[in-house]
Structure 1
Amino acid sequence: MSAAHGCLHLNNFKAAKGTRPYRLIHSFFVACTSSEARKRKAKSCVCHVCQRRGPRLHACLHCIFFGCYGAGHIQAHSQQRKHFLAVDLTYGVVCCFQCGDYVYDRELETIAQKHQTKASLSLGLGQVYHSWEPSEEEIELLKKHTRRKKITDSATIGLRGLVNLGNTCFMNCIVQALLKVPLLRDFFLSDRHICQFQDEPSRCLVCEISRLFQEFYSGNKAPLTLHRLLHLIWTHARHLAGYEQQDAHEFFIATLDVLHRHCRGPNEQQSTQPQENSVNRCTCIIDQIFTGGLQSDVVCQACHGVSTTVDPFWDISLDLGPSPSTKVVTTGNGPGSIPTSLQDCLERFTRAEHLGSSAKIKCSRCLSYQESTKQLTMKKLPVVASFHLKRFEHSNRFHKKISSFIAFPEYLDMSPFMSHRRNINNNVNSDSPDRSDRPVHKPLISTENMYSLFAVINHVGTIEAGHYTAYIRQHRDHWFKCDDHLITKADIRDVLQSEGYLLFYHKMILEYE
């Protein structure tokens, strides 16, 4: 994105017509600041050439024209009419076809932020999260205190070992992963947290995490001891109390739960206006980063009526063994197979499953108990996608660990597992007699659902005597292995060949909500 000196063409346009054209487009077709705007966008937001809603729909800033970028219709309009400025209706940024790039403008950015806040309030979601910008008072303080600490190796800032307090490697690994989430770092380093425990702040887990961020990014490289964090976890999640080895996944979920409860200040309450089939969540920083929406579609086999629910999730737990209902076991990603990759696991997780005659449900349309199928898909993707590979099996007869290698990519496209994509595939692949006459929907290449790997937690050893380590990504392409107090340089090949237990991916493109 071009931003060094601004865009001359955009500046000339603003000098002639002001910011009103951008305000109207962003208010009605990007942020949708009112119910009227949402209705207008749903009705009018289609390409004027192909009548499709994308991919990457843009609105001309000079005249009333919508065109999709992926098919080149907005570019053709720009050349024909000499209208060189257009607004991306997904992200609200301005594209200048003379510069050949998206351009940044602080004045338009301020307008966009105000619209996003207004839209969020109109939906009952409270304030949206924005990255920290210094206030006038903070700018004056920065001017008065100009001294900076000299950093000899910037690649290692934010890296510190963590002392094992006795079987606490599970906690150390989760902390290392959480401290590498960029939005969490921005939130805590800019003092955005308002403590709920004003009379007793030592009870607040969020305050302790905030202190850890300050410690990690202070430049000191000496290993830290997390005794206060461990005590707070024992206090607020009593099932984890004790010095025995705990499960890293269970600790991760318990930590998010406590942070979520302690983050919800007076302006961060649960949404009071939940929409049908939407993710009903609060607006605290934890939910903004980690919460996604899991859609469940139950289809009656008698009348084909569909019952849909959407539930929030913080992570996805994926089975590694064969389906218990299948006698024949194969490898690959076919029905009943043993998964060999993360994509196999997700394919099986989102595949429609026949519930059988022993699990009949009462159909709201038939008003009788019928057999049905159930399918889970991703309705809403989180900023940080966390995957739990279920390597530990527990039953009344035995406890065992699945140590088979599960390949996982450095970059992950979640588009095939989205609800709308699976619905299209189900319609195309249905067994109806006229399916040959239906148009085949070719998958669209989209970067909106792309994720990059930033942390991997591994469990080495047996289920009775094991040890947790973590690989974490620093900056763009530096990887390090965290083994309690020891931090060593690693290579991406070491990461991808490891026996992953928890996988953490960060969305590559962030959009306003």
Structure 2
Amino acid sequence: MSAAPPSSPPLIPSTKLLTQDFFPGDHATSHGCPHLKPFKKNGEILSNYQILARYSLHYKNRHALGILPPKDNKKRQKHSEDNQSNSKPTRQLPTPACLTCETALGRIHACLQCVYVGCWKGEHIQHHSKETGHTFSMEISRCGLYCNQCKDFVYDRDFEGIHNGEIIRSSETISMMQEPGQKRPRYAKWHAGTKEAAAIKAGAKLKTCQGLRGLRNMGSTCFMNVILQCFIHNPLLRSYFLSDQHSSKRCEVNNDCMGCEMDQLFTQFYSGAKVPYGPCSFLHTMWMSSSDLAGYAQQDAHEFFISALNQIHAKSPSAKLHHCNCVIHKTFAGVLQSDVTCLNCANVTSAFDPILDISLDLRPTKRSKSAVNKARGGNDERNDGPNSLADCLDRYTHPEKLGTNEYNCSKCGKTGQEATKQLSIKVIPPVLSFQLKRFEHSMGASKIETKIKFPAQLDMTQYTTSARRLKKNKLAAQQKMNGTSGSENGSPSTLSSISSASSVNASMEPIPTYIYNLFAVINHQGKMDTGHYTAYAKHRGEWFSLDDHKVSLATQKEVLDSKAYMLFYVKQTLDYDFVNASKD
């Protein structure tokens, strides 16, 4: 078990939790429920909500924090007594349950005006509110604020500020426990002063819903349209260009600037116009910058994506060959680590390669049964083929045995030595782009129609270098305590056993900074040379189908059931300072 987490931070005085001071004098519009204002004057209800929100988050992340319910803890204590172990008992956290019927199901609510906890399904929380006259309660699983007089869940930005603050603290605690050696910059909250708040209010205007618009097909340009739609709905690119970080009016590049084309593209999408837009200027600039893409022939969307990224980077004022700080590298750039282990002397040679995206094979590779297959109960000596994004990533990062003529060990001096190679992600980017290799050119042109399941939320923890190193160190320490560490000279057999056991063991608890949310999907229908590209993108919490000029509402099920060609995920918790964080 990892070290105990640091003690919980003290409760912040309710006066400092209020977010109305962002707009001084505008307290009347700080909430939508008219019954809240009298209760918020003394701040007690805010403090109670903060305590319950912290408890809710701790319970959700109890395994990552090393806190288990009493029932699980008793089993562990009994196991420790049977093994005569001196390990410390696990800290306990009570399971949220109704005080009347003792059920832990049925939407458990906690009263914010007393200590009662009741279920919604059995109507015990409703009876409590009616008998006591208590108005407000919190739904524990989602921290929703319920008003018994409104008979509905209500929104209040003060309570939202408390909840968001507790999420940040919980994420920091989990990251420190799971990665004790990482030094990430801490988030610092910013408050506007009186002058700044006045300037914001004076310059802010409410506009209609924007950012959703179709693109005209100008002759087999669907490959470009889907990439542009994914750029538009990329949260980091949107924030960069809509905040005038690159303005076409102030740009010093004479012509063919892809940054200016992106700025104009965002201007068109957020102009309020409803009719489809024809990105003629963007296409012309790409033709002038990349001769391979010139002409009206159908192109590959992934090739266009990489070319567009390179062109935006090349014309950026801050572009550099190494440690580039342009918007493309801030958004998409990561570092891939390749570890080659000599099977004779256990020497490990590491190499590092920059990446802008990850291309994943869909064809099964013939190899011995992996630990992942064992854990899933497979009995075949080869993988039956990928059926999920996780399977593709497992194969991508699985140790691969090199041929005898592919590696020369610098330590033991043997040429043609057998070795294994394994990939992991050393620096993970804020936006992950996956290409699923559906097009093959080895034995004639063909398309792989295999359906790949992919999640709406992706945990990349187990594929990172730091997580695997910590996992390996924990396993080695555990084996040393049990007296099964093997030989002390680090023989290949020892390393092999550690690697195998590490794979079989359950993966690490999810680390918040490695959780990603899906925001765009590109699909290809039809044959390889005569197909058509479409996309799905998430806009203001809703999914939309984007087929050139056609824009229609879609469901998440439709998105997840589609045969994806490219996938785009954004980090759920962004590093506060990417430049410093990438140096860890």
User: Which residue of structure 2 lines up, in the alignment, with residue 401 of structure 1?
Assistant: 447
CA distance in 2, matches of 1:341, 1:434: 27
Partners of 1:2 and 1:102 within 8 A in 2:
no
TM-score normalized with structure 2 length: 0.59
Structure 2 counterpart SS, 1:167? coil
Match among 285, 289, 296 for residue 331 of structure 2: 289
Partners of 2:460 and 2:514 within 8 A in 1:
yes
* Post-superposition CA distance 1:350-377 (Å, at most 9, x none): 0000012242x22121233222111001
User: Which residue of structure 2 lines up, in the alignment, with residue 488 of structure 1?
Assistant: 552
User: Which residue of structure 1 lines up, in the alignment, with residue 564 of structure 2?
Assistant: 500
After superposition, the Cα gap between the structure-2 partners of 1:136 and 1:210, relative to the gap in structure 1 and judged at 3 Å, is farther
How many residues were matched structurally?
Answer: 391
* Post-superposition CA distance 1:7-50 (Å, at most 9, x none): 49xx9xxxxxxxxxxxxxxxxxxxxxxxxxxxxxxxxxxxxxxx
Q: Partner letter of residue 186 of structure 1? A: S
Tell me, yes or no, if structure 1 residue 190 matches structure 2 residue 190.
Answer: no
* Post-superposition CA distance 1:192-241 (Å, at most 9, x none): 12679956544211011011111111221111001110111111111111
TM-score normalized with structure 1 length: 0.67
After superposition, the Cα gap between the structure-2 partners of 1:505 and 1:188, relative to the gap in structure 1 and judged at 3 Å, is same
Partners of 1:3 and 1:103 within 8 A in 2:
no
User: Which residue of structure 1 lines up, in the alignment, with residue 401 of structure 2?
Assistant: 354
CA distance in 2, matches of 1:137, 1:172: 39
CA distance in 1, matches of 2:230, 2:12: 32
Tell me, yes or no, if structure 1 residue 449 matches structure 2 residue 511.
Answer: no
User: Which residue of structure 2 lines up, in the alignment, with residue 460 of structure 1?
Assistant: 525
* Post-superposition CA distance 1:101-137 (Å, at most 9, x none): 73799xxxxxxxxxxxxxx9xxxxxxxxx99x99979
Partners of 1:196 and 1:204 within 8 A in 2:
no
Partners of 1:293 and 1:381 within 8 A in 2:
yes
CA distance in 1, matches of 2:404, 2:445: 30
CA distance in 1, matches of 2:259, 2:91: 48
Q: Partner letter of residue 206 of structure 1? A: G
Partners of 2:459 and 2:510 within 8 A in 1:
no
Structure 2 counterpart SS, 1:288? helix
After superposition, the Cα gap between the structure-2 partners of 1:372 and 1:347, relative to the gap in structure 1 and judged at 3 Å, is same
Match among 285, 293, 298 for residue 340 of structure 2: 298
Match among 267, 270, 289 for residue 236 of structure 1: 289
Tell me, yes or no, if structure 1 residue 172 matches structure 2 residue 225.
Answer: yes
After superposition, the Cα gap between the structure-2 partners of 1:347 and 1:472, relative to the gap in structure 1 and judged at 3 Å, is same
Tell me, yes or no, if structure 1 residue 215 matches structure 2 residue 215.
Answer: no
1:106-185 residue pairs with structure 2 within 5 A? 140=199, 143=202, 148-149=206-207, 151=208, 154=209, 157-185=210-238
Tell me, yes or no, if structure 1 residue 386 matches structure 2 residue 433.
Answer: yes
Structure 1 unaligned spans of 5+: 12-53, 58-70, 74-98, 106-119, 121-129, 271-279
After superposition, the Cα gap between the structure-2 partners of 1:356 and 1:72, relative to the gap in structure 1 and judged at 3 Å, is same
User: Which residue of structure 1 lines up, in the alignment, with residue 173 of structure 2?
Assistant: none
After superposition, the Cα gap between the structure-2 partners of 1:413 and 1:137, relative to the gap in structure 1 and judged at 3 Å, is closer
User: Which residue of structure 1 lines up, in the alignment, with residue 391 of structure 2?
Assistant: 344
After superposition, the Cα gap between the structure-2 partners of 1:100 and 1:470, relative to the gap in structure 1 and judged at 3 Å, is closer
Q: Partner letter of residue 300 of structure 1? A: C
CA distance in 1, matches of 2:540, 2:325: 27
User: Which residue of structure 2 lines up, in the alignment, with residue 316 of structure 1?
Assistant: 358
After superposition, the Cα gap between the structure-2 partners of 1:491 and 1:199, relative to the gap in structure 1 and judged at 3 Å, is closer
1:418-433 residue pairs with structure 2 within 5 A? 418-423=464-469, 428=475, 431-432=493-494
Question: How much identity, in percent, do the aligned residues show?
Answer: 39
Structure 2 counterpart SS, 1:320? coil
After superposition, the Cα gap between the structure-2 partners of 1:214 and 1:72, relative to the gap in structure 1 and judged at 3 Å, is farther
CA distance in 2, matches of 1:101, 1:485: 38
Partners of 1:197 and 1:203 within 8 A in 2:
no
Structure 2 unaligned spans of 5+: 1-10, 22-62, 67-89, 93-161, 169-182, 184-188, 477-491
Q: Partner letter of residue 341 of structure 1? A: S
User: Which residue of structure 2 lines up, in the alignment, with residue 116 of structure 1?
Assistant: none
User: Which residue of structure 2 lines up, in the alignment, with residue 91 of structure 1?
Assistant: none
After superposition, the Cα gap between the structure-2 partners of 1:3 and 1:101, relative to the gap in structure 1 and judged at 3 Å, is farther
Partners of 1:281 and 1:312 within 8 A in 2:
no
After superposition, the Cα gap between the structure-2 partners of 1:391 and 1:458, relative to the gap in structure 1 and judged at 3 Å, is same
Partners of 1:470 and 1:481 within 8 A in 2:
yes
Partners of 1:7 and 1:103 within 8 A in 2:
no
CA distance in 2, matches of 1:185, 1:310: 30
Tell me, yes or no, if structure 1 residue 102 matches structure 2 residue 136.
Answer: no
* Post-superposition CA distance 1:229-279 (Å, at most 9, x none): 0111111111111110000011101111111111243xx545xxxxxxxxx
Q: Partner letter of residue 297 of structure 1? A: D
Partners of 2:64 and 2:510 within 8 A in 1:
no
